[in-house]
């Protein structure tokens, strides 16, 4: 039986909250034997442009990606976008909105640490945070560890940063989906069973959420994911079949910021690939090689 190629369509570089540079990540992708891959940095396109410029004719097949953190009255969503035109105004508008919200939340978190928890940083270190392409909680947490405010990054986030609730100023899921579609891309719901924090979304609630996003133009579900059990994979695959959606596979690799290995998606190379995944590869990469 022919083995299905190794795939990882969900990973992050240091442009957002990973630790590998785009060039380092490309080297790791090659070492891992990945045949199809995408970089999906949060609210950022730069790493995809860098990687595309480094690829040679014999390198793995690459597709540009992005990930948008979204929220509406019913919860939190992560929307992945693939095969978009990076120069198109609709997706660039979503990127700019997300980045603007990130900077606002960065200021709120720093103020909270200073005024409520008495954890100040130097002006130089604060300027360095604001100069990052896409600053977020992991970057603040790393600084907290360096200052001795927390023993490690996870504790900094869990015990301090997550004490501050910032419910507003998120990209709406329909905004992200509209921006991806407007740039000729494919919108996919990342890790569909996961919501806020430890929230697990299953059954009728998950079905309702997916149907509502389909109404906005959602075209796929990330059914193969590093954090999913076989039960969760089966539930998401059943939804994809029910509504004729694409299927994707991603690890959510972040380098040293998360203990997740590249290509750890739960997709077996020896098992038959779902039809929705084969369709995605054919349409997104414009190839029938899979």
The domains found in the chain, sorted by start residue, are 7-96+173-284 (3.20.20.140), 103-163 (no CATH)
Exposed, middle or buried: residue 169 (CB in 10 Å: 0-12, 13-18, 19+)?
Answer: middle
- Given pLDDT bands bounded at 50, 70 and 90, which one contains residue 94? very high
Read off the pLDDT of each residue in 98-115 and give the average, rounded to a whole number. 93
Asked whether the beta carbons of 257 and 36 are under 8 A apart, the reply is: no
Q: Which pLDDT does position 2 carry in this prediction? A: 55
Res 289 pLDDT > 60: no
pLDDT tens, 51-76?
999 999 999 999 999 999 898 888 88
Res 260 pLDDT > 90: yes
Closest of 219, 212, 206 to residue 245, by C-alpha: 219
Average pLDDT in the chain: 92
Separation of alpha carbons 289 and 57, rounded Å = 15
Read off the pLDDT of each residue in 248-253 and give the average, rounded to a whole number. 97
Separation of alpha carbons 279 and 130, rounded Å = 40
What number of residues does the chain have? 290
Separation of alpha carbons 209 and 202, rounded Å = 10
252 vs 198 pLDDT, higher one: 252
Asked whether the beta carbons of 6 and 29 are under 8 A apart, the reply is: no
Asked whether the beta carbons of 26 and 39 are under 8 A apart, the reply is: no
Closest of 257, 45, 262, 225 to residue 136, by C-alpha: 257
Asked whether the beta carbons of 135 and 129 are under 8 A apart, the reply is: yes
3-class DSSP assignment, residue 115 = helix
Gyration radius (Cα) of the chain, Å = 19
Q: Which pLDDT does position 158 carry in this prediction? A: 92
- Given pLDDT bands bounded at 50, 70 and 90, which one contains residue 287? very low
Lowest-pLDDT range, 114-118, 136-140, 216-220, 276-280?
Answer: 136-140
Asked whether the beta carbons of 124 and 116 are under 8 A apart, the reply is: no
């Amino acid at each position: 039986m022919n083995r299905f190629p190794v795939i990882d369509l969900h990973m992050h570089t240091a442009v957002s909250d990973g630790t590998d540079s785009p060039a380092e990540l490309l080297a790791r992708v090659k070492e891992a034997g990945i045949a199809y891959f995408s970089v999906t940095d949060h609210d950022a396109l730069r790493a995809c442009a860098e990687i595309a410029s480094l690829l040679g004719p014999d390198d793995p097949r690459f597709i540009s990606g992005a990930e948008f953190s979204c929220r509406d009255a019913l919860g939190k969503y992560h929307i992945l976008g693939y095969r978009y035109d990076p120069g198109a105004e609709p997706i660039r508008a979503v990127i700019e909105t997300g980045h603007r919200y990130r900077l606002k939340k960065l200021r709120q978190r720093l103020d909270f640490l200073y005024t409520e928890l008495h954890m100040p940083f130097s002006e130089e270190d604060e300027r360095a945070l604001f100069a990052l392409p896409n600053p977020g909680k992991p970057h603040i947490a790393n600084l907290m560890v360096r200052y001795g405010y927390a023993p490690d990054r996870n504790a900094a986030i869990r015990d301090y940063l997550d004490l501050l609730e910032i419910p507003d100023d998120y990209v709406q899921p329909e905004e992200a989906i509209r921006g991806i579609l407007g740039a000729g891309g494919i919108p996919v719901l990342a890790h569909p069973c996961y919501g806020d924090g430890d929230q697990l979304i299953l059954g009728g609630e998950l079905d309702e959420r997916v149907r509502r996003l389909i109404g906005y133009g959602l075209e796929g579900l990330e059914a193969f994911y590093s954090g999913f059990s076989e039960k969760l994979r089966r539930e998401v695959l059943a939804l994809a079949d029910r509504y004729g959606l694409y299927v994707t596979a991603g690890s959510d690799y972040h380098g040293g910021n998360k203990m997740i290995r590249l290509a750890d998606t739960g997709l077996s190379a020896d098992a038959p690939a779902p039809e929705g995944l084969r369709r995605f590869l054919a349409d997104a990469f414009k190839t029938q090689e899979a």
